Amino acid sequence: MAIFKIQVNGKEHQADVAADTPLLWVLRDHLGLTGTKYGCGIAQCGACTVHLNGTAVRSCSLPVSAVKSSAVTTIEGLSENGDHPLQLAWDEIDVPQCGYCQAGQIMTAAALLKKNPRPSPEEIITTMHGNICRCCAYHRIREAVTLAGTKTI
């Protein structure tokens, strides 16, 4: 056990955990940030996606000791008022069914739009292919990312 200081959503947090503890469980069990979901635990489904310095990573497979000084952004910190263009598009297109995977879907898409504000349909599909939606809301996820891609700069 050791104390790890990490930057999450612009604030410094600390957790007294084993070095191999995945960031996912630090966020959920120790920091109370449960928006990031546990799905498969082996980086296959994308439900646990967060940003590390703006890049989408699978928090279930990232040990907290590897985070170091990187800035972590979770769904709770994506926007101040829940009004990131993707969050608005998700409502506009009425994407969620059960909703469990959606935080991970939005975080994956947000990293894409940050890098590439006007992604092509192929770029959207290729990027979002890594995230599973068991309710199969894929059509609307695609549509919402496309819509948000027309609104970000």
Partner 1 sequence: MSATHTTSRRNFLKLSALTSGGLVLGFNLFGTDAKAKVITPDAPFEGDVVFNSYLSIANDGTITIFSPNPELGQNIMTSFPMIVAEELDADWTKVKVIQAPLDTNKFERQQTGGSGAIPHSWKRLRVAGATAKYMLIQAAAKRWNVEPETCTAENGFVIHAASGNKLSFGELAEDASKIPVPAEVKLKDRKEFKLIGTAIKNVENKNITTGKPLFGLDFYREGMLFAMIQRPPAFGTKIKSVDASAAKVMPGVIDVITFKNNVAVVGKSTWEIMKARKTLKIEYEKDGNIESTADHDKLFVDLLNSGEATLRRKDGDVDAAFKNAAKIIKAEYQCPFIAHSTMEPMNFFAHVKEDGVELVGPTQTPARAREAVSKSLNIPEDKITLQLTRLGGGFGRRLKFDYVTEAAELSGIIKAPVKVIWSKEDDMQGGSYRPAVCYRFEAALDTSGNMIGYKLRGVGINAGNCTREDNFPSGAVDNLLIESIEHVSPITTGAWRAPITNFLAFAEQSFLDEVAASAGKDPVQFRLELLAKAKSNPVGAIKYDISRMETVIKTVAEKSGWGAKKDVAQGFSVYFSHMSYVAQVCEVAIQDSKPVVKKIYAVADCGEVVNLSGARQQVMGAIVDGFGHAMYGKLTFKEGAAEQKNYNNYRLIRMKEIPEIEPHFVDNGIDPTGLGEPALPPTGGAVANAIFKATGKRLRKQPFIEEDVFKTTG
* Interaction site with partner 1 (CB under 8 A): 1, 17-18, 20-22, 25, 28-30, 32-42, 44-45, 47, 74-76, 78, 82, 86-87, 90-91, 94-103, 106, 125-126, 128-142
Query: In what side-by-side order are the strands of the sheet with 71-73?
Result: 11-17, 2-8, 71-73, 49-52, 55-58
In the complex, least distance from residue 146 CB atom to partner 1, rounded to whole angstroms:
12
Q: Residue 59 has what DSSP assignment?
A: G
Using CA atoms, how far residue 15 sits from 33, 40, 48, 59, 139, in Å, is 13, 23, 19, 15, 39
With respect to partner 1, which residue has the nearer C-beta, 114 or 134?
134
With respect to partner 1, which residue has the nearer C-beta, 114 or 139?
139
Dist. CA 42–CA 61, nearest whole Å: 6
In the complex, least distance from residue 90 CB atom to partner 1, rounded to whole angstroms:
5
With respect to partner 1, which residue has the nearer C-beta, 71 or 88?
88
